[in-house]
């Protein structure tokens, strides 16, 4: 493939002064192979989206789902996004993959809506997607094509994306906000931005990173971090969702701190789209999934 070959030439050029080493050589050829496969993947429809429900803690009901990409790589099984998204970000393929994700998620949302499900879909963004001058148009066209209310779409950005080109990003986010699209900060707490700084951006939601939730019940520092994020976000009128909730004790503590929403294996792993309606039916008995203080 021409693009892959070009990339390879560039990568070789960059490594010309590295001394020769078989391990490096192997790593590099594995990388090139992965990259070639990635270039084929879009065309051969090897990607799919799984969806993880997001639950409102007070009611125990599903209010949204996060779209998470999966790659069925022939001969390799399911490849985790952690193993190919960074590469796609480096070689620029993420722009095309990201457009596919947006399109797929919107199409799926329309289908759920036609089945009578009321929910919002969250889509993860990578930095290069925001450099695309047509990004806003792409989003607008997608919403129109599937006749969606813009507020049913949420875009997730990490702190580092938001902080990258501040002035440029503010403008773009303001445009999206004006359209009515919801914006959330993913992996919140792992970057270096303060809440007061983020207040300059038109954000709707903070997602507390799962690294703080994991030991919330055993590490008092993590508990303090979660409690502080929740109360500050609440005062700034931002919705707070906790990621990576795996058990009832974690949920109980988050509820006590006033957290609004959660997602995690406790309720459900990310699942193929066709399993989402059944999960909705489960929440007909919300007592099981909420936590009343």
CA distance 87 to 83: 8
For residue 242, count other CB atoms closer than 10 A to its CB.
Answer: 30
User: Of 180, 97, 186, 96, which Cα lies nearest the Cα of 143?
Assistant: 180
User: Of 231, 228, 196, which Cα lies nearest the Cα of 212?
Assistant: 228
| Three-class DSSP category at 109 | helix
Q: Please, which of residues 233-252 interact with Mg ion by CB under 5 A?
A: 243
Whole-number CA gyration radius for the chain: 20
Q: Which residues contact 95 (CB under 8 A, 6 or more apart)?
A: 128, 129, 132
Q: Give min distance, CB of 15 to ligand C2E, in A.
A: 26
Identity of the residue, 125 or 216, whose beta carbon is nearer to ligand C2E in the bound complex: 125
Identity of the residue, 177 or 246, whose beta carbon is nearer to ligand C2E in the bound complex: 246
Q: Which does 197 bind (CB under 5 to 8 A by kind): ligand C2E, Mg ion, none?
A: none
Q: Which residues contact 219 (CB under 8 A, 6 or more apart)?
A: none
The sign of the CA dihedral 175, 176, 179, 185 is: negative
Q: Which does 126 bind (CB under 5 to 8 A by kind): ligand C2E, Mg ion, none?
A: ligand C2E
- Residue 241 CB burial class (10 angstroms; 0-12, 13-18, ≥19): buried
Q: Which does 85 bind (CB under 5 to 8 A by kind): ligand C2E, Mg ion, none?
A: ligand C2E
Q: Which does 246 bind (CB under 5 to 8 A by kind): Mg ion, ligand C2E, none?
A: ligand C2E
Of the listed pieces 13-21, 118-126, 175-183, 230-238, which binds Mg ion according to CB under 5 A? 118-126
Number of residues that bind Mg ion (CB under 5 A): 5
Q: Which does 265 bind (CB under 5 to 8 A by kind): Mg ion, ligand C2E, none?
A: ligand C2E
Q: Give min distance, CB of 190 to ligand C2E, in A.
A: 10
Q: Which does 268 bind (CB under 5 to 8 A by kind): ligand C2E, Mg ion, none?
A: none
Q: Give min distance, CB of 92 to ligand C2E, in A.
A: 13
For residue 44, count other CB atoms closer than 10 A to its CB.
Answer: 10
Q: Which residue has the tokens 């990173």?
A: 209
Chain residues in the site for ligand C2E (CB under 6 A): 52, 68-69, 80-82, 85, 98, 101, 124-126, 186-187, 210, 243-246, 264-265, 270
Q: Give min distance, CB of 84 to ligand C2E, in A.
A: 9
User: Of 190, 264, 205, which Cα lies nearest the Cα of 237?
Assistant: 205
Q: Please, which of residues 167-196 interact with Mg ion by CB under 5 A?
A: 186-187
Q: Please, which of residues 141-160 interact with Mg ion by CB under 5 A?
A: 156
> Which residues in this chain contact Mg ion in the complex, by CB under 5 A?
124, 156, 186-187, 243
């Amino acid at each position: 493939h021409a693009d892959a070959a070009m990339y390879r030439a560039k990568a070789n050029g960059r490594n010309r002064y590295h001394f020769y080493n078989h391990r490096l050589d192997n790593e590099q050829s594995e990388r090139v192979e992965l990259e070639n496969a990635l270039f084929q993947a879009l065309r051969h429809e090897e990607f799919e989206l799984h969806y993880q429900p997001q639950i409102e803690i007070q009611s125990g009901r599903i209010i949204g789902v996060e779209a998470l990409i999966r790659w069925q790589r022939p001969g390799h099984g399911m490849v985790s996004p952690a193993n190919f998204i960074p590469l796609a970000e480096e070689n620029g393929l993420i722009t095309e993959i990201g457009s596919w994700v947006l399109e797929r998620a919107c199409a799926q949302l329309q289908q759920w809506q036609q089945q009578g499900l009321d929910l919002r879909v969250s889509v993860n963004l990578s930095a290069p997607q925001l450099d695309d001058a047509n990004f806003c148009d792409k989003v607008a066209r997608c919403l129109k094509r599937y006749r969606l209310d813009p507020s049913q779409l949420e875009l997730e950005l990490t702190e580092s994306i938001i902080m990258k080109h501040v002035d440029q990003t503010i403008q773009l986010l303001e445009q999206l906000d004006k359209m009515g699209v919801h914006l959330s900060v993913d992996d919140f707490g792992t970057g270096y931005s303060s809440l007061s700084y983020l207040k300059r951006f038109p954000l709707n939601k903070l997602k507390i990173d799962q690294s703080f939730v994991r030991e919330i019940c055993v590490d008092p520092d993590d508990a303090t971090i979660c409690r502080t994020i929740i109360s500050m976000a609440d005062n700034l009128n931002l919705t707070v969702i906790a990621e990576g909730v795996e058990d009832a004790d974690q949920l109980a503590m988050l509820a006590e701190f006033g957290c609004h929403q959660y997602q995690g294996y406790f309720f459900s792993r990310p699942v193929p789209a066709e399993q989402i309606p059944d999960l909705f039916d489960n929440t007909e008995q919300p007592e099981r999934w909420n936590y009343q203080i």
